[in-house]
Structure 1
Amino acid sequence: MAIISITTTQNIELEYELASLGDRIIASIVDDIIKIAYVVILLMVLGISADSFGEGGIVFFLLLMLPAALYSLLSEVFLNGQSVGKKVMAIKVISLNGNQPTFSQYLIRWIFRLIDLLMFSGLIAVVVVAATKKHQRIGDLVAGTTLVKTKARTGIEQTLYVPTVDTSYIVTYPEVVNLKDSDMQLIKEVMINVRKSGNNILAWQTTEKLENILHVKNQYDDPMNFLYVLLSDYNHLASKEQQ
C-alpha cells in the first residue's frame, strides 16, 4: 500500500493512500464507456454522417462532441476532483500542497491527457505512473497533483455533513461558525490520520491551532474528543441553518 504525506498550508501533515495503477485504469475505462455511449447515442439521434446538416454540419457536429472531449476536465472541476469513473473507484485528484486543486491544475492535467493517455494507447501513462513514487502521470507531474483513495478508514467519516437529528443537542463551541467547510474537512482528515497512525501529537497540534483561531479552550483530556465535538457542533449549527 503506497502512502503519500502532504504538509498543508496550515503546516499540518496528512497521509493519504495513493490510488493504484489498477484504480486509475478501471476508472479510465468507466469514463471511456460513458464517453463512447454519449457519442453512440449522438450518432443514432443525428445520423451516421454529420454531412446531413449541410455545409455547416461538420462544425455543428464537432460542437456537439465537445462534452465528450471536455468530460474529464469538467468532471474534475465540478465534482471535487472526481469523474464518474473515479467515484466508482473511490479515488480523487488532490494537489500536492494540501489544497483543493485549482482550475489551472485541472486544465493542465486535461491538456496532458493527449500525451499521457491518447499517445501510444496510454502506454506512456502506465509506465510513468508505475515508475513515479507518487503514482503520477505526466499531467500530474506538471500540474503538481496526484490521485488518492477516498474510501473511509474510520468511523468518523460521515460526521461532517450528516444533519444532527437530536434537537436537544447543546453546542459546546458556538465559535465554530467562524470556520469554513474546508477547515472542517481538514479537521476530519486530521482525525482520520490520527486514528490510522496513532500519532496523537498531530491531534494536539491541531487542537492548539484551533484554540488560537477560535479563542476557545479545550475542555477534554483527549484532543480527539475536542476535534470530534467541534465537528458535531459545526454539523448541528449547519443543519439548523438549512432548516
Structure 2
Amino acid sequence: MSKIGIETTQNVQLNFPLASVGERIAAYLLDSLFMGVFAMFIFMIFAVLGEPYVFILLLTIPILVYTLVFETFMNGQTPGKRIMKIKVCRVDGDSPAFWHYLIRWMFRLVDISLTNGVAAILTIVIGEKGQRIGDILAKTTVVKTNHTVKLTHTILSEVPDNYQLVFPESRKIVDKDVELFKKVIQQLKTMDDHVEKLTFGLKARGKVMQQLGIKTEMPPEQFFQTLIDDFNFLHKNI
C-alpha cells in the first residue's frame, strides 16, 4: 500500500495511505453517475414545463461546480469520494482551505476534461505523492479515510478535578498542536514494529520538546497524552 509521509507544521512526520488510482477513478465514475441522474431529473422537469434555455442553465452550473462545492462543504469529499472512503488533504497535514479546492477544480479541465483523465492518471502514477497537476499546484493529495488517523470529535476532553499540571510549558500549546498530539498517539498505537515505533515516538517527542522547551524522559505516548491533559486542564480553568 502506497503511503505519503506528511510533514506537519510542527515538523513531525505522519504516514497516510494514499488513495489508489482505481479508487479515485471509481469515485469519479460514481460522481458522474450522480450528475447524470441529476441531469435526467432536471431534463424531465423542464421537458414538461417547456423551458429549454432555463434547463440548460440550471443543468450546466451545478454540474460545473459539483466537485468544488462538495469538496468545500464536505471536508475534502464528494459523494463519490465518501463512498470510496477517500478524501483530499494537504501535504503539510493541515486541512485544505477553499482556495486549495479551487485550484484543484480549475485544473480538472487539464487533468480530466481535455485529456480524458490521461494527464491525471499519468501524474498520479509517476509521482510519489499521488498527485495530479491540480494537486501539485494546490499542494494537496488524496488519502484513504478508513485507514487514516482518526481524531475525537472535539479538542477538549474531561480531566479529573484533582488533576495537577505536569508541564507548565503546556501554556504554549494551541488547538492545532493538540490535533497533532492525538494523531501521533493514534499512529503509535497502529505501529507493530517496536523499533520503528520507538524511533518514531522518540523523534516526535524530541521535536515537540524542543518546540515547547520541555525536558523529560517520559515515554512518547505518555508524553503526548500528558500534553493533551495539560491543555484540557488549562482551558478548563480559564
Q: What TM bracket, shorter-length normalisation?
A: 0.7 to 0.9
Cα separation, 2, equivalents of 1:161 and 1:201? 26
Q: Counterpart in 2 of 1:224?
A: 221
Please state how far the C-alpha of 1:35 moved relative to its aligned partner.
1.6
Helix, strand or coil at the partner of 1:121: coil
Please state how far the C-alpha of 1:109 moved relative to its aligned partner.
0.7
Q: Report the AA paired with residue 221 of structure 1.
A: M
Q: Report the AA paired with residue 34 of structure 1.
A: F
Between the aligned residues of both structures, percent identity stands at 34
Alignment of 1:170-209 (within 5 A): 181-195=175-189, 196=191, 197-198=196-197, 199-205=200-206, 207-208=208-209
Extract unaligned runs of 5+ from structure 2.
none
Q: Counterpart in 1 of 2:36?
A: 36
Cα separation, 1, equivalents of 2:59 and 2:71? 20
> Cα–Cα, structure 1 residues 32 and 225, in superposed 2: closer, same or farther, change >3 Å?
same
Cα separation, 2, equivalents of 1:83 and 1:177? 38
Please state how far the C-alpha of 1:183 moved relative to its aligned partner.
3.1
Cα separation, 2, equivalents of 1:48 and 1:127? 44
Q: Give the TM-score taking structure 2 as reference length.
A: 0.76
1:2-40 Cα distance to aligned partner (Å, 9 max, x none): 122222222222222211111111111222222222212
How many aligned positions are there?
227
Contact 2:101 2:138 (C-alpha < 8 Å) held by counterparts: yes
Please state how far the C-alpha of 1:67 moved relative to its aligned partner.
2.2
Q: Counterpart in 2 of 1:144?
A: 139
1:45-88 Cα distance to aligned partner (Å, 9 max, x none): 22278xx23xxx52564145322221111111122212222222
Please state how far the C-alpha of 1:107 moved relative to its aligned partner.
0.8
Q: Report the AA paired with residue 127 of structure 2.
A: T
Cα separation, 1, equivalents of 2:40 and 2:230? 49
Extract unaligned runs of 5+ from structure 1.
none
Q: Give the TM-score taking structure 1 as reference length.
A: 0.74
Helix, strand or coil at the partner of 1:101: coil
Please state how far the C-alpha of 1:147 moved relative to its aligned partner.
1.0
Cα separation, 1, equivalents of 2:110 and 2:88? 18
CA RMSD of aligned residues (A): 3.4
